[in-house]
Chains A and B, each alone.
Chain A
Amino acid sequence: MIKLENVTKIFPGSEIPAVDNLNMEINEGEVCVLVGPSGCGKTTTMKMINRIFEPTEGKIYVNGEDISKINPIKLRLGIGYVIQEIGLFPHLNIAENVATVPRELKWPANKINQRVDELLTVVGLDPKLHRNRKPSGLSGGQRQRVGVARAMAADPPIMLMDEPFGAVDPITRARLQNEFLRLQEQLKKTIVFVTHDIDEAIKMGDRIAAMREGKLVQYSDPNELLSSPADEFVANLVGRNRSIKRLHLIRAYEAVRSNVPFLEKGDSMESVREKIEDSELRAVLVVDDRQKLIGLVSADDIKKDRGAKVAGDLAQEIENYVTDDATLNDALSVMLNLGEGYVAVVDDGHKLKGTITLGDLLEVVKDDDARAAS
């Protein structure tokens, strides 16, 4: 889909190349993450793909076409673009911002309006509430969402994203990343994603290009990057706690234990007692008649409330749950933050899928260590 051939970029007035003889190929439908310390040439590489910068030497092909022969405006209209700090136009409202590329493509007004509403819904913003707001009236996370919506407006097959989730707090960032991955699973866009955060790279990337001083040091999938770093630089980049980093790679739905005992809210006290006796944790999760998670009943709750007749009366709401598209690393931070030994896993409709315990996480890490060692 995108191919870089012997690409070198030397900025005027500089001796050292910003990008040095780069060769790489990005496959269709993949997220390729360019990662490395600042000044390693990752952003420069990305900006050569939409011809914001022209390579000093070498060629870049998109769909087999040499981009230096395509009109830059035409090229860019087919490539979604999200930059650092998002670059929303402060004088235009959200709808006008999102409509930027469709307007350039001269879509009819009603088609643009429809598309804007559709996109805002996709990125989780209520069109009615947000259409007419100015970017300054939005939170950081909402602005990043608008930035992504704007880049997707004309449904470009390729997207370039330069630290798109950089300017928000870690919790919002994790949520945006998860939402984005869920979206990408359906859309299958070819994405070039620039970040300096190795954790983000491991989480987001199908392929990771580790760069240093303009050179491509290693280009491989995240698993390989973690298990066999090409050299000391990559090893340092991924850090010492590689096993824990692998928790970024595994989603809750892959590791969830689904055969855990649970109670329906109408279950009698007898079965409540029975199941609690049987459980290791001396507590059992409770769901409603649609399998939605209500909370937890523990042995202590039974003692405290003798008047309860069914499981639903006793259930205490819990906070230690994650959605099934969260990574195991997200699950671990929830456990550590709340001081619990497990998390409940729910799907996006809040239906109970099962649980993940601290022990399960240890198993995952241990398995990987064993595999890496062998």
Chain B
Amino acid sequence: MMQELRRKWKGWILVPAILLGLAIGLTVYVVNNPGGTMAARMLTYPSIFRYLREHVLMVLVSCLLAIGAGVPIGIMLTRPRFRSIGRVVENIVNVGQTIPSLAILALFFTFLGRGFNTAVFALWLYSILPILRNTYAGIMSIQPGIIEAAHGMGMTPLHVLGRIELPLAYPVIMAGVRTAVVINVGTATLATFIGAGGLGDLIVTGISVGRPIIIFTGAALSAILAILLDHILGQIEERLVGS
């Protein structure tokens, strides 16, 4: 019981607090010690907060939409009716995953123009892939005897999915979501190239004006954001599996 409490405290409070503390400490430090007027103009509280907000928004919106699309499509492909095209789709997804993320952003920039929406759309498409693939693989990897037993005992297909297949595939699906989110945080730094803002603005500006402290701020904040989101998802996963 004590151990359980300590583990929960560590997972939900301590680790996130350390990461947040690190991010805040870093921000306070660079704003107070910009080391020059050029950097000082970039590194103010409102601007850093705006970049961060844009970044988080891009990641959250695209990831939520990706879960909303990837999981249902993945489930659909495992149904008997669509199982024959499942493999084909899986291969397409695997090929899609090898396209560089910058190329995807650039591609949609040519069709959809610049801005936040284009970035979200490209990120969405890119994060569907691991979620869809893991949903499909997670369900397909369940021992066939288990599913047959469920059907054979008279469970309705919907109950087989909800009570047997999804709970068993859940860890694999969650792993897909975590991969998608981590990749997404990284890829979102490239959104600056199509004018969608985010922490990438800091990095690219830092490079062009040759001020390492600006680059460092953008890079460190996006890294902390990735670790934090991954950690929280891990906690959610553990909580649902453990119950």
Contacts and interface: CB of A to CB of B under 8 A. Distances in A.
A101 B152 CA distance: 10
A52 B154 contact: no
Interface stretch (B37-45, B142-150, B203-211): B142-150
Interface centre among A50, A88, A91 (most CB of B within 10 A): A91
A90 B146 CA distance: 9
Interface centre among B154, B155, B167 (most CB of A within 10 A): B154
A81 interface: yes
B152 A73 contact: no
A87 interface: yes
A288 interface: no
Contacts of A79: 154
B151 A52 contact: yes
B42 to A, nearest CB: 51
Interface residues of B, number: 16
Contact of A81 (B146, B153, B156, B159): B153
Interface in A38-90: 47, 50, 52, 73-79, 81, 83-90
B168 interface: yes
Contacts of B150: 87, 89, 100
A140 to B, nearest CB: 15
A126 B36 CA distance: 75
A104 B154 contact: yes
Interface in A149-187: 150-151, 160
B145 A83 contact: yes
28 contacts: A47-B152, A52-B151, A73-B155, A73-B156, A74-B154, A75-B154, A76-B152, A76-B154, A77-B153, A83-B145, A83-B152, A84-B145, A85-B145, A86-B145, A87-B146, A87-B148, A89-B146, A90-B146, A90-B168, A91-B168, A100-B153, A100-B155, A101-B153, A104-B153, A104-B155, A104-B159, A150-B153, A160-B152
A87 B148 CA distance: 8
Interface of B (DSSP majority class): helix
B156 A104 contact: yes
Contacts of B146: 87-90
Contact of A76 (B143, B153, B167): B153
Contacts of B155: 73, 100, 104
B145 A52 contact: no
Given A73-B155, A89-B150, A160-B152, 20 more contacts: A47-B152, A50-B152, A74-B154, A77-B154, A81-B153, A83-B148, A83-B152, A85-B145, A87-B145, A87-B148, A87-B150, A88-B146, A89-B164, A89-B168, A90-B146, A91-B168, A100-B150, A100-B155, A101-B154, A151-B153
A115 to B, nearest CB: 15
Contacts of A104: 153-156, 159
Contacts of A52: 148, 151-152
